[in-house]
Structure 1
Amino acid sequence: MTLRSSSGMHRPSPLLLAVTGLTVLFLLGPILLSVMAGLVNNYRVGLKSGLTLKWVAQVWANYGGTVWLSLQLALLCVLAVILLGVPCAYALARSRSRLARLFEELLTLPVAVPGMASALALLLAYGSLQGFRQSFWFILVGHIVFTLPFMVRTTTAALQKRSLVDLEEAARSLGASFTQIFFGILLPAILPAIVAASLMVFTLSLGEFNLTWMLHTPLTRTLPVGLADSYASMRIEVGSAYTLIFMLVILPVLWGLQTLARLLERHNEP
């Protein structure tokens, strides 16, 4: 339900605005309460106990290393799935083979299968390689397996647009090489889709728990694993302070990638 203003613009009705506001409050309310719990001296007393940053300092002292490890893991995961996923997406978008369609469906299995099951499969396949099993790279492989379908699906849809296919065929008929077509035409056109998929991959990698919990070691503990440990072994103020740090880490990156995606979309508009 919308209302038309005097300028001809459609304005949402008060009812829709109210429903939207309540939905936002429903989603953000628990998060805000959790953040506040990490900034008070005593959660049970509330704001009356006074504000403090001692819980944040305690979390940073005990778990600060997990922040940098998780950021490195998420950024490397994004880079890896771009390098692997974009060529794979192009092959799937241009292939008419039934095997390509079957591969595209199989690619979604890591998303459909529980993370612990995927982790168990990786342990069975590579667990005997002790140096690799205990390293940061083992978790990275797990994150790549889990997030690659999101990159491939998103960029495949972008590459399958009829206008882009026609443009590619026209460039090929004029004698352009594959390198010129891919890097000069296709890549700039699908860059907004790549950025949008990268945003998804980054957030999934940074917040992934089930798979990471199965694959991590005491030396490769990530943010979500540390968060679970803090909730299980310490008071709620510490766990809530950890949530605050998690949000401070992820929100600037999310806003930056979203802004970049919007700028690229505007740049590609005719």
Structure 2
Amino acid sequence: MKRRGLFYCQLGFTVLVCLFMIVPVVMSVLAGLTENYFIGLSSGLTLRWVEEVWRLYSDTIRLSIQLALACLVLTLLLGVPAAYALMKSSRRWANAIEEALLLPVAVPGLATALALLLAYGHHRDFRDSWLFILVGHVLFTLPFMVRPVLSVMRASDMQRLEEAAASLGAGFRQRFLGIVIPNCVSGILAGALMVVTLSVGEFNITWMLHTPLNKTLPVGLADSYASMRLEIGSAYTLLFLLMIVPLLITLQWLGSLVTRRH
């Protein structure tokens, strides 16, 4: 009886926490589909706020997807070799470099953006390009690719696997593409999940670096809440969820699929 009572207490607490997190999201979604939020559902449901958001802010959604995918590609190209180099380096230097990689995460995003502006803001064409925002996103998300990949490499005893492959005559390229990459796919997928979600939702760095022609989804969302009707901002939130949730589910599914195969 005591165990059953404890179970129901834990279940009730879990349900309350879930409701605390989910109910605001549901209310926001309903507000974006309601004719008049202040009257409530009795005013009727409509998609005109979603259509209005798409008309005004569709470019921010496309730019956010473009940034997230470009950020993912760059963090893969930089992060996986960096994790491999850290694994091969001496432990003391590897730890020092690994901690240094976390600086963009520890430093406030506004400070990172200000540093980028001071360093590269005088290059006018670069400053006005979305590539400037991309640099900030890569700086912020790179540790989230390096850490899980490095952890998987260390857990799978990669050095011993490489030594075995080298003893059979495999060159560096064969070892890296045939041994290292396949054995750290789970870490790569975990890092990809973090990189994409953080890039899509990143606000502080983006707000400081964006221009009127280069607004991302979070910046447009803030603008819509500040200057438009509440229904517009809520409809924007709905579009954000429709974009990010399927992406997260897909990445999670790929991760679980790879884990089962290994």
CA distance in 2: counterparts of 1:169 and 1:15, whole angstroms: 53
Establish whether residue 235 from structure 1 lines up as the match of residue 229 from structure 2. yes
The residue that corresponds to 1:25 in the other structure is: 19
The runs of at least 4 aligned residues of structure 1 exceeding 3 Å deviation read 162-165
Deviation of residue 180 (structure 1)?
Answer: 1.5
Do the aligned partners of 2:105 and 2:140 also contact (CA within 8 Å) in 1? Answer: yes
- Map Cα deviations across residues 172-214 of structure 1 (whole Å, 9 max, x no partner): 2333212121111121111111011101000000000010000
TM-score by length of 2: 0.95
The residue that corresponds to 1:172 in the other structure is: 166
The residue that corresponds to 2:69 in the other structure is: 75
The residue that corresponds to 1:192 in the other structure is: 186
CA distance in 1: counterparts of 2:156 and 2:199, whole angstroms: 32
CA distance in 2: counterparts of 1:115 and 1:241, whole angstroms: 27
- Of 127, 136, 145 in structure 2, the residue corresponding to residue 133 of structure 1 is 127
CA distance in 2: counterparts of 1:113 and 1:19, whole angstroms: 35
- Of 103, 110, 124 in structure 1, the residue corresponding to residue 118 of structure 2 is 124
The residue that corresponds to 2:83 in the other structure is: 89
Counterpart amino acid of residue 225 in structure 2: Y
Establish whether residue 160 from structure 1 lines up as the match of residue 160 from structure 2. no
Deviation of residue 94 (structure 1)?
Answer: 1.7
- Of 99, 106, 109 in structure 2, the residue corresponding to residue 112 of structure 1 is 106
Establish whether residue 210 from structure 1 lines up as the match of residue 201 from structure 2. no
> What is the Cα-based RMSD across aligned positions, in Å?
1.6
Matched residue pairs, number? 260
The residue that corresponds to 1:46 in the other structure is: 40
CA distance in 2: counterparts of 1:157 and 1:265, whole angstroms: 15
- Map Cα deviations across residues 17-62 of structure 1 (whole Å, 9 max, x no partner): 2222222111111111111111101111111111011111111110
TM-score by length of 1: 0.92
Counterpart amino acid of residue 39 in structure 1: L
Structure 1 unaligned blocks of 5 or more: 5-11
Deviation of residue 97 (structure 1)?
Answer: 5.2
Identity across matched positions, percent:
57
Call closer, same or farther: CA 1:166–1:99 in 2, change over 3 Å: closer
CA distance in 2: counterparts of 1:13 and 1:262, whole angstroms: 28
Q: Which SS does the other structure have where 2:184 is aligned?
A: helix
Structure 2 unaligned blocks of 5 or more: none
The residue that corresponds to 2:52 in the other structure is: 58
| Greater shift in the superposed pair: 246-255 or 98-107 | 98-107
Greater helix content: 2
